Structure 1
């Protein structure tokens, strides 16, 4: 059930992205958000390959709708995601 909900949400996100126009920082923010989602849901869904495909499609859609699509490098994305995951939460 969770996998189906995640797939529907990602398809909706992809359609939303296709209706927007992004500058470079907006595109890079989408990249960062997708990478964070990828790390967060990979162990919680049954069809990881399909979810990865849909996450990749969100990035492709953002790149197509970006005026200057310069992607963040993979090590930079990983470092940003890890920094957020390691940051203690303030309650």
Structure 2
């Protein structure tokens, strides 16, 4: 399934995933910009470099989960294969 097919089958979910991913991406840059330099210390009040790194790590994990969700949207077959696998099609018993 392509992005176009996912858009036809579930446009609201696809739009939500893409908008949420864009929002996370913008917040990644905002948090990165707000982190004080490790070398200057950054003071005791407000953001610290360690807190900023933890925030970036959490947002990167969310991006990874969104990529996993996107890969599930692009899966070609929504159901698992039958078990046990059949070779040569259906057999008739006598």
Q: Which has the higher helix share?
A: 1
TM-score past 0.5 threshold: no
Higher relative contact order (CA 8 A, sep 6+): 1
TM-score between the two structures when normalised by the length of structure 2:
0.31
For the pair shown, the structure with the greater C-alpha radius of gyration is: 2
